[in-house]
Structure 1
Amino acid sequence: MDFTRIALGNSVFEGENNAYLLEGDLTTLVDVGASTESVRSDLEAGLNSAGVAVTDIDRILLTHWHSDHCGLAGELQAESGADVFAHEMDASLIAGDDETAEALDELRDRRFSEWGIPPDKREVLLGVQSDFQGVAGDPVDVQTLADGDQIRAGDGELTVRHLPGHAAGHIAFAFETEDGGHSAFVGDVILPEYTPNIGGADLRVDEPLATYLESLDRLASHDLETAWPGHRDPIEDPAARIEVIRDHHYDRTRRVVETLQEHGPADAWTVSAHLFGELEHIHILHGPGEAYAHLDHLERVGAVEREDFEYRLVDTDPDVDALFPNTKY
C-alpha cells in the first residue's frame, strides 16, 4: 500500500504529529492534527506536494479522540464533504457531543479528588485543558468503526484493530505490505521516543495498565514489519519497541512498590510526586494518572489495598514479576 507521511507541528504532548495520506479511488487521511493555523499549513503543504487539495479528500480515519490527532477533522469535513470514521467508544467525543463532554468533566473532577491533586494544581490544570479545547476544532459528523472492521482507503483496504489503554477507543489500521508482510498505522499505542500516557490520557479506561498491556500483547501478535505512529519517525522494529515499553511499565510498578515501602500509605498524587518530582502543565494530570494506573493494577491483584484514597502494601514484598507474565526480565 502506497502512502505519504505528512509531518505536522506540535509543541505539546509527544510533539511532531503525523498524518498519513493514502491516494487512489478513495483519497484518505489517517489522523489530521490539531486545529491550529500552523498545523493546517503543515497539512496543506504536505497535500500540495502530493498534488492533492483539501477538497479531494474522501475519507478521514481517526486513531483516537485526542485533539492533536482529530482537531482539524471538522473543518476538513466541512470543506471536502469527507466521511469521518472513528471507533465507537471515541466517536461522541470527536463529534463534540455536549452530554459526553459533561460526563467526562464530572469524571475528571472525581478523579482530581480521588487522586489528591492539590487545589492550586487543579486550577493550573483546568487552565491548561481550557487552552486545549481551542485546538479541538469544529463538531464532526462521525461514523463508527469496531474491532475487525475492514474499510477501503486509497486503493487498498485497512483492518481496524481496537487497542485501548491510552484511549478507550484507540484503534490501529493494519494492512498488508507489498511483500506479504504486515504493517499498521498505530496512532499512540506505541511511540518511537516516549511511552504513551495511561491513566491520565483517558479517564474512562477501566483497569488502565492491564488494558494497555493486553493491547501491547495483541499488537505484538500481528508481527508488524513497521509501525507508523501518530508522532515522529516510523518504528522499524515494533516487537522490540513493545518490549521496551512493557519493561518500562514493569520498572515503574516496582518503583511504585518501593515508594510505598519507603514512605508508607499514600494517594496517587503523593506517589507521583515521589516518582516524578514537581509536576506542571498537562503533567499535573498525566503524573498522578500514571501512578493511579499502577496502583490500581496492584490493588486488583491484592498486592495493595485502598482505604479512602490512600494505598498501602498488603504484602511488603509483592511478586511484581507475576503481574507482567509476558515481560522478558
Structure 2
Amino acid sequence: MDRISLGNDEFEGRNNAYVLADDTDDELALVDTGVAIDPVRQDLREGLAERGYEFADVDDIVLTHFHVDHAGLAGEIQAESDATVYVHEADAPLVAQDPDAVAAVEDRRRQLLEQWGVPAAAREELLGFFESADIEGQPAEPTPIADGDVLEVGGRSLETVHAPGHAAGLCCFETESGDEAFVGDAVLPVYTPNVGGADVRVQRPLEKYVATLERFVDREYDRVWPGHRDPIDEPTDRAETILEHHRERAETILELLGEHGPADAWTISERLFGALEGIHIIHGPGEAFAHLDHLRHEGIVAYENGRYRLQDGSLAVTDLF
C-alpha cells in the first residue's frame, strides 16, 4: 500500500495519508490528508511530488472521520483540485465547518467538562488550546456516505464500514478482497483510541466502541492500514487486545470506587492518568466518563449528585466486553 507518513506532534503519532492511483484511467485518490499546518502540508506535497502528483491532480478524498489530523487539509486540496470529498454523514457537517454544528459541539463540550467535574483552570486551559491551535484548515464541501456504500476511487472499490466510538462518523474502508481495510483511528497499533473525549457527540461511547471492535474481529482482516503509525499485521489480535484493555480499565475504575468512595469523572481520570495538559484535559475525563457511563447503564454503578458510586460492590465486568 502506498503510504505517505505525515508529521504530527500533538495527537497519536505520525499520521498516514494513503495514495490510491490508477495510471490506466488517470485516477488519483487520498485516504485522509493530515492536519492543516505547514510541516504536514509540506510532507504531503512532497510525498505526492515524489509520485509525480500535486494537490491539483487529486480526484477523490476519502476521510475516515472529521478529526483535524485526518481531515484538516481536505478543503485546501479540494479548492485546488475540485476533488470529491467523501465522509460519513454524521461527520459531514463538521468537515464542512457548518456554524451550527460547530457551535453545538462547543456547547456540548462545555457542558460535559462541567458535568465531569473538570476544574475551572483546566477548562480554561483546554479552551485556550482549542482557540490557539489554528489547525482547522479550510472547510470542504463533502459528499456524505453511509455504512455499506461502495466508493470507486483511485481504481479501487472500497466498502464503507461504519465504526463509531472514537468519532460518531468514523469509518473503515474495506478493499475489494475483503482481507484488508483502511481503518483510521478505529484500531491503532500503539495507543488505544480515545473514547468519550474525542467526540463529545457520541452517546454511550464505550458501548458503541465495543460493538465496533466486535464487528472488526468478526471481519477477520489479514492486515489493516491505520490512521497513525505502521500497518497492523494481526488486526484481530490487536482488536482483542484493546477489548481486554477496556475490561481491565473498567475493573480498575471499580476498584478505585471501592477504595476511595464516590467520585466524578475528573477525579477518576486523575487517579488513572495523573496530571493532564493540552488536548488530554478532555481525553482523560472523557475516557473515565465513557467507562463510568457504561457501568451505570449496566447497573454496576449509580450516579448521584455528579458522582458515581458502586451499586452492589460486584467487580464482574467480563460480560460487558
Q: Same fold (TM over 0.5)?
A: yes
How far apart, in 2, do the equivalents of 1:78 and 1:140 lie? 8
How far apart, in 2, do the equivalents of 1:276 and 1:225 lie? 33
1:10 aligns with 2:8: yes
Map of 1:126-141 to 2, 5 A cutoff? 126-132=127-133, 134-141=134-141
How far apart, in 1, do the equivalents of 2:317 and 2:73 lie? 42
AA matched with 1:7: S
Partner of 2:232: 235
Partner of 1:147: 147
The alignment covers a number of residue pairs equal to 318
Shift of 1:182: 1.0
How far apart, in 1, do the equivalents of 2:193 and 2:131 lie? 22
How far apart, in 2, do the equivalents of 1:130 and 1:246 lie? 34
How far apart, in 2, do the equivalents of 1:53 and 1:137 lie? 18
TM-score scaled by length of structure 2: 0.97
How far apart, in 2, do the equivalents of 1:322 and 1:221 lie? 18
How far apart, in 2, do the equivalents of 1:113 and 1:323 lie? 28
Unaligned ranges ≥5, structure 1: 325-329
Shift of 1:317: 2.1
Runs of 4+ in 1 over 2 A off after TM superposition: none
Map of 1:164-203 to 2, 5 A cutoff? 164-177=164-177, 182-203=179-200
Q: Identity, % of aligned pairs?
A: 50
AA matched with 1:48: A
Partner of 2:206: 209
Map of 1:177-326 to 2, 5 A cutoff? 177=177, 182-324=179-321
Per-residue CA deviations over 1:164-206 (Å, capped at 9, x if unaligned) read 00000000110134xxx51000000000000000000001111
Of 314-323 and 30-39, more deviation after overlay is shown by 314-323
Shift of 1:74: 0.8
- SS for the counterpart of 2:303 is strand
How far apart, in 2, do the equivalents of 1:155 and 1:101 lie? 34
On the 8 A contact 2:30/2:62 being kept in 1, the answer is: yes
How far apart, in 2, do the equivalents of 1:270 and 1:210 lie? 22
Map of 1:27-106 to 2, 5 A cutoff? 27-106=28-107
How far apart, in 1, do the equivalents of 2:201 and 2:125 lie? 22
Per-residue CA deviations over 1:108-161 (Å, capped at 9, x if unaligned) read 1110111000000001101111133x1110111011000000010111210000
TM-score scaled by length of structure 1: 0.95
On the 8 A contact 2:66/2:95 being kept in 1, the answer is: yes
AA matched with 2:165: G
Shift of 1:308: 2.3
Unaligned ranges ≥5, structure 2: none
